[in-house]
Structure 1
Amino acid sequence: MPQICDKCGALLTNFRLPLPVDCLSSSRDLTHLLASNEVPLDSDLPLIRDIISSGESRVDILSSQIHNLQVNLTQLLRCRDDTANDIHRHRAILSPIRHIPPELLCGIFLLTLDGNEDTSKKPPWYLGQICRAWRHSALSFPNLWSSITVPSVSSGDSGLVSLVEAQLLRSAKAPLDVYWRNIRTSINPHLAGIVLAHCGRWRSLCLEETQSSPSSYPLNWLGVVRGHLHGLERLETNIAATIGHVIIPDVFLSAPKLRQVYLTNERFGHPSPAIMLPWNQITHYRGKSSPQDHRRILADAPNLVTCTLTFMNFTGFSPNTTVTLPHLRCLSLGEPRFLLQLTAPMLSELVSLSNPPSSIAALLPFVQYSGCTLTKLVLMRCTIGPELISALRGLAAITYLLVEASNGGPHSTLFDAMTISGDPSDLCPNIRFFAYGHRFRDYAWDHLFAMVHSRFPSTNLAILRIFHDGTMNPPEAWARLQALRDRGLDAEYLGRLRTVRLLESVRIV
């Protein structure tokens, strides 16, 4: 068994260096034989055989010593790895994460879920897979179990019922976010009963039905929550049905904290169901309905701060008296002509989803008689023409402008009008963010970059986005965009995927 040196830690062996090569050679010079093909003399043969024999012995000795060294090296490597692993295991004892309070640890985990999962639609059953200490913290942290998905189950599926019961137990007294799937087709009485029993803790409620039905159906099972929705703050519906086919009882009239109501999904796929709500306390609203219904809702909701309106049918609608929304800050709507129904003196952000010339003409009168100061304007599917330029000329306070053109031109007309020279008549001189795009190939690059250069850096234009929702590769623009970036402007050309993301992010305020 080899010994270890107490000074350097190396293994001690009886290793002995081999003799030098010249010590094994004879004093007789045989170089001339090694460097030629001469036949050796008979007197040289015994010496040559001795050299070969002694060399073979020396090779055997060296091979044995190399083997011993390899064995010792393997032992040293194994010993080093074991020691390093031992250090790592003991260092973990001193890790700061052991001193993080369970509340903070679960909060970090909850933020991670919010960034990567839709926690309102997927309960975290997988928490049992994390380490034991964290699992204990997770099981004892109610907020991690507060997103309840009511699954579509048959009456005999007791396994999912038990899981929901366990989650409700672990949620303790935390506010609940309840996502109710298939509200018409698959209501398990036992499952519905245990979730409805906790309605006093509901913070948000989402009702979804993806299967349309030609006949009406009442949600009578919701009646038991009437008068008990003390903590409900948000109501969301996504129901594939014609207006009037879903009958929702008036259980939300007595929800004192209800502020946010979203009666269609973010893509406006389904119309808003008929529902009675305490509109005078609602601050956030999204809906898809007729102009008449929207007008009635807004007349009853004077405290709206943000609002998104899309319309089922605008044909034949004529404005009469206007509705005043004194607190409205952000508005997104599918038809700008509806602005003629509104007065919003505090409005600062406006998103218009469709902008033919006749609709754009309603924009400036609305701003003028409302007396509002728009700073952000998004015009999607917009017709480029004199109506747009006229509207922009009256919006001097705009700092954020996004225009998605719906026609093939004349883009140069808009860019020329937006080129500034320092005169009081300059169009939107305070713009800091400008985004422009369309699905046609002609971008009028010379006019566009001339406009940008006139605004940067004279008015501190900070961000420029050129986008295209088709397939286009503008090599003539790359060098110019790079030159702008070199000067300090945040300028980019967005491809198809990033264009879709940009437009989706601004559709709803």
Structure 2
Amino acid sequence: MVSSVCSKCGTLLSSPATSSLDLSVDPGSRQYMLMHSNEPPGDSEKAFIRSNVSRADERMACVDEEISSLRQRLKQLEEERVCVDEYRTRNKAILLPLRWMPAELLAEIFLCTPKSHLPFLPYATDIPWVASHVSRGWRAVSLSTPSLWSPITIDYGRGYHPDSPLQLEAQIQRAHPLGLRIHFFGRMGPKPDHQIQMLELLLEHSSRWQELSICLTSKVASFLDALRDGIQISSLKRLWIEWDITDSPDGVISMDCFSSVASLTHVGLNNVLHLVKFDLPTNLTHYDVNGPWHMHTKLLKLTPFVVQAYIVLESDDNSPPGSVQSCIVLEHLQRLYTSSSEVLNCINAPNLIGLTFQIADSDSDAAVLTSVRTLVQHSACVLRRLCMIGLPRDNSTTLKILDELTAVTDLLIGVHSPDTLVRLESLVSSLTVSEVNCFTVVAPRIRSLSIGHNYHNSPIQYQDYFDMIQSRWDAENCDLAMATLALGTNSTPDSETFSALDAIRRQGFRFTFLKHLAALDEMDSWEYTSTWGFTAFFN
């Protein structure tokens, strides 16, 4: 340590701060009494006190000088540390395994890196642009990976778009020749001419489109409609169309440029059927539509080869689905989601194996039971997977459904309201095997049981849930071998329940616990909704 001498008192600055000044005061002394009272000092005592103050001033000046010296030294050390750390980091970087990483693996990492799509971030902050500016090696890998550039996202709702046509053109040229995945979010208000300019450039490469998600405005829709005869979209496989809710066109816009696309197999429509005249290609296999029932009836009859259907009735649609006599025959349909159990009365799907439907708290048990029976009996289908988002009011109705659907091996329950939670507790109790009901087990063929909970501040009874799982695992006449608990809330099982579940897992039972985003993604998959469409892509 470098030491220096204080210019005030001659003390070594590296010495303890109080080494040259005795700060102790004898409790029995006159000085102590004066310090602890308001009594004035005598004339003879003033000189002594003043000398103490003078020596304290000198020492304080010395300490201040020492502090200043130490701060200067600390600053020097901190600056030196920054330099040493930078030197050390640069040398460590030479040894990083990334330098030896194969280009193919680095490309896969780039492809798995999530896009930002955050509001008001520059378009050039996404992974293909960032990766191409890190180093020559990264740039070479990014430029030689066309699929990295193939997703093109333009979102005027969030201020996320190319600054110029040149930037968009550069990305298009680097993308896969037949793999452009276009996500174009038009919006009323911001940069209308810029929106059309970007859309015109994209349309020049429409023959390379593989996927198109587009949010329409009156101006964008009219532009597409005007060019429908010249658009070449022979490679398009997936299409998602929404309408900007802030815009209302003067009349219905015709958009039939997609009806003859032979390669188109996936179509999603949301908030658009009242505004756009739209026809679907007959070769469609995936149907994802939100609209009034009369539009579903028309569109589904045009798509006889649908394998998976996501049918949502608009919230303001008061027209009930048709009767059994007006059933829509979907011979190839295997997986179905509907937001209303009434729709089940109108579907004839002999090959249906997976069914998900919503049960509103206001739905009558008789109507729900009748709808399920009508679908199964009229279709003569053998359901393997049943998912109910919500539960009937009376637990006996749920038990009747399970009793009649004897082929169901996968049961999934979604909790979306306090009433559903109460009904779930009754169902859990009924599914629990006890000495009383061990010979009449409810739904013994259920092999997989999944429960999804997304209602805030209403945790399920975890101990009852575990007792049910344990009892069915132990019962000889039950097939339960796996369970999933998906909690989209902050609710978490207690440590004892976790320990018990870990114990049963070690015995061979397959238990999965999911929270937050993972739980929400899991519950979304139960509904057979699109994971590629516009809404899913941006949320």
Structure-2-length-normalised TM-score: 0.64
Residues 309 and 332, structure 1, Cα contact 8 Å, conserved in 2: yes
**CA 253–462 in structure 1, closer or farther in 2 if over 3 Å, else same:** same
Alignment of 1:16-415 (within 5 A): 97=101, 100=102, 104=104, 107-113=107-113, 115=114, 124-150=128-154, 152=156, 159-171=163-175, 173-182=177-186, 185=189, 186-188=192-194, 189-209=196-216, 218-226=221-229, 228-241=232-245, 247-264=253-270, 274-312=276-314, 313-319=317-323, 320-355=325-360, 356=363, 357=365, 358-385=367-394, 386-405=396-415, 406=417, 407=419, 409=422, 411=424, 413-415=426-428
1:42 maps to what in 2?
none
**CA 299–337 in structure 1, closer or farther in 2 if over 3 Å, else same:** same
CA offsets 1:343-389 (integer angstroms, 9 cap, x no match): 11111111112353233431133112212222221111223422221
Residues 293 and 320, structure 2, Cα contact 8 Å, conserved in 1: no
**CA 94–352 in structure 1, closer or farther in 2 if over 3 Å, else same:** closer
If asked which structure has higher relative contact order (CA below 8 Å, sep 6+), I would say 2
AA aligned to 1:131 is: S
1:435 maps to what in 2?
451
Instruction: Count matched residues.
Output: 410
2:431 maps to what in 1?
418
AA aligned to 2:342 is: R
More off after superposition, 128-137 vs 253-262: 128-137
Residues 396 and 430, structure 1, Cα contact 8 Å, conserved in 2: no
2:332 is paired with a residue whose SS is: coil
Residues in 1 aligned to 2:162 and 2:502: alpha-carbon distance in whole angstroms: 62
Residues in 2 aligned to 1:506 and 1:295: alpha-carbon distance in whole angstroms: 24
Residues 351 and 381, structure 2, Cα contact 8 Å, conserved in 1: yes
Residues in 2 aligned to 1:384 and 1:402: alpha-carbon distance in whole angstroms: 17
Q: Per-residue deviation at 1:165? A: 1.9
1:63 maps to what in 2?
none
CA offsets 1:215-253 (integer angstroms, 9 cap, x no match): x98523453353511111111112134698562532112
2:390 is paired with a residue whose SS is: strand
Residues 155 and 184, structure 2, Cα contact 8 Å, conserved in 1: yes
Q: Per-residue deviation at 1:169? A: 2.7
**CA 443–131 in structure 1, closer or farther in 2 if over 3 Å, else same:** closer
AA aligned to 1:112 is: C
**CA 368–431 in structure 1, closer or farther in 2 if over 3 Å, else same:** farther
AA aligned to 2:200 is: G
AA aligned to 1:484 is: I
**CA 340–411 in structure 1, closer or farther in 2 if over 3 Å, else same:** same
Residues 419 and 452, structure 1, Cα contact 8 Å, conserved in 2: yes
**CA 381–137 in structure 1, closer or farther in 2 if over 3 Å, else same:** same
CA offsets 1:309-364 (integer angstroms, 9 cap, x no match): 11112444442411111111111110011011011111111111235323343113
Residues 218 and 246, structure 1, Cα contact 8 Å, conserved in 2: no
**CA 195–415 in structure 1, closer or farther in 2 if over 3 Å, else same:** closer
Residues in 2 aligned to 1:363 and 1:201: alpha-carbon distance in whole angstroms: 43
Residues in 2 aligned to 1:359 and 1:190: alpha-carbon distance in whole angstroms: 51
Give the percent of matched residue pairs that are identical in Structure 1 and Structure 2: 21
1:409 is paired with a residue whose SS is: helix
Residues 481 and 492, structure 1, Cα contact 8 Å, conserved in 2: no
- Structure 2, unmatched stretches of 5+, are 1-83, 530-539
Q: Per-residue deviation at 1:281? A: 1.0
Residues in 2 aligned to 1:360 and 1:481: alpha-carbon distance in whole angstroms: 34
Residues 199 and 225, structure 1, Cα contact 8 Å, conserved in 2: no
**CA 499–260 in structure 1, closer or farther in 2 if over 3 Å, else same:** closer
Residues 403 and 435, structure 1, Cα contact 8 Å, conserved in 2: yes
Residues 284 and 303, structure 2, Cα contact 8 Å, conserved in 1: yes
Residues 186 and 244, structure 2, Cα contact 8 Å, conserved in 1: no
**CA 500–145 in structure 1, closer or farther in 2 if over 3 Å, else same:** closer
Larger radius of gyration: 1
2:183 is paired with a residue whose SS is: strand
